[in-house]
Amino acid sequence: SQQGEEDPQALSIQEGENATMNCSYKTSINNLQWYRQNSGRGLVHLILIRSNEREKHSGRLRVTLDTSKKSSSLLITASRAADTASYFCGLFNAGGTSYGKLTFGQGTILTVHP
Amino acid sequence: EAQVTQNPRYLITVTGKKLTVTCSQNMNHEYMSWYRQDPGLGLRQIYYSMNVEVTDKGDVPEGYKVSRKEKRNFPLILESPSPNQTSLYFCASSFGGSHEQYFGPGTRLTVT
């Protein structure tokens, strides 16, 4: 079954540094979605990248997708203390009996020190 | 304001006492879904609905029921709650399953 694995589990950096987190998966996807969660609150959508796309940007965020390696990365440039949160990748399955399922990884906890 | 609302936000109950957590969205979204979040396990999908009267099991459906009689509402029913259902629950909606999800604020459930 589909499973998302995020790496690293936790990341601690200084303000101004870049943060990179990765997501790997097992079976074909329709798209991959990155979300952010602040301490027990609802998830907030960041970027969606479709299976036929390789890279997307949104402000200080850059997402890449390598379907041959079944992996994606989220890069946050020039990080700020306000970026401190948990980040999750969501995998929307490609089809078959799993179409409609959205599977999340366990998340990466990012701490940005002022 | 476009939003997903959940009620209640916090609930403490006892084993076996049936409960319902409501979820409502005002964005005319077709797709709605329920997740539970547990430490170390991330978010796991319980049930999802592609449209009215269409529901499917997610990865952890045991012990839960859902219904989708109206487009805007997607209640989660625990017929006989057990302590292992203590968790943080999130409802989400989107225009289609393959689109960005809008999440509710969460419902923290404790079953004693």
Nearest to B72 by CA among B52, B89, B54, B57: B52
The residue ranking higher by pLDDT, B89 or B100, is B89
Residue A28: predicted pLDDT: 86
Q: Does position A95 have pLDDT exceeding 70, yes or no? A: no
Give the pLDDT band of residue B51 (cuts 50, 70, 90).
Answer: very high
Of all residues in chain B, the one with the smallest CA distance to A5 is B42
Nearest to A104 by CA among A10, A56, A37, A51: A37
Instruction: Give the residue carrying structure tokens 């999908």.
Output: B45
Residue A96: predicted pLDDT: 64
Which residues in chain A touch residue B59, judged by CB atoms under 8 angstroms apart? Answer: 1, 101, 103
pLDDT tens per residue across span A65-85: 999 999 999 999 999 999 999
| A–B interface: beta-carbon pairs under 8 A | 63
Tell me whether A99 touches chain B (CB under 8 Å). yes
Q: Report CA-CA distances (Å) from A101 to A110, B10, B17, B49.
A: 26, 27, 29, 10
CA dihedral A21→A43→A1→A26, nearest 10 degrees, is -20
- No. of helices (H) and no. of strands (E), chain B: 0, 11
Residue A97: predicted pLDDT: 64
State the average pLDDT for chain B: 95
Tell me whether A42 touches chain B (CB under 8 Å). yes
Tell me whether A45 touches chain B (CB under 8 Å). yes
* Both structure tokens of A101: 């399922």
Q: What CA–CA distance (Å, rounded) separates A86 from B85? A: 23
Instruction: Give the residue carrying structure tokens 């109950």.
Output: B13
pLDDT tens per residue across span A25-79: 998 888 999 999 998 788 999 999 999 999 999 999 999 999 999 999 999 999 9
Nearest to B38 by CA among B110, B104, B112: B110
Burial class of residue A104, CB neighbours in 10 A (0-12, 13-18, 19+): buried
Calculate mean pLDDT across residues B44-56: 94
Residue A98: predicted pLDDT: 67
Instruction: Give the residue carrying structure tokens 């379907």.
Output: A67
Which residues in chain A touch residue B31, judged by CB atoms under 8 angstroms apart? Answer: 100
Which residues in chain A touch residue B105, judged by CB atoms under 8 angstroms apart? Answer: 41-42
SS3 state of residue A99: coil
Interface of B with A (CB under 8 A): 4, 31, 33, 35, 40-45, 48, 50, 56, 58-59, 88, 90, 92, 97-106, 108
Which residues in chain A touch residue B56, judged by CB atoms under 8 angstroms apart? Answer: 100-101
B4, B48, B104 member nearest A100 (Cβ): B48
Q: Answer for the pair A105, B42: CB distance below 8 angstroms, yes or no.
A: yes
Q: Answer for the pair A93, A74: CB distance below 8 angstroms, yes or no.
A: no
Q: How many residues are given for chain B?
A: 112
Nearest to A21 by CA among A68, A67, A69, A77: A77
Residue A13: predicted pLDDT: 97
Instruction: Tell me if A106 and B101 make a contact (CB, 8 A cut-off).
Output: no
Residue B12: predicted pLDDT: 97
SS3 state of residue A98: helix
Instruction: Tell me if B45 and A103 make a contact (CB, 8 A cut-off).
Output: yes
Report the range of poorest mean pLDDT among A90-94, A96-100, B93-97: A96-100
Nearest to A88 by CA among B47, B43, B102, B90: B43
Give the pLDDT band of residue B8 (cuts 50, 70, 90).
Answer: very high
Percent of chain B with pLDDT over 90: 88
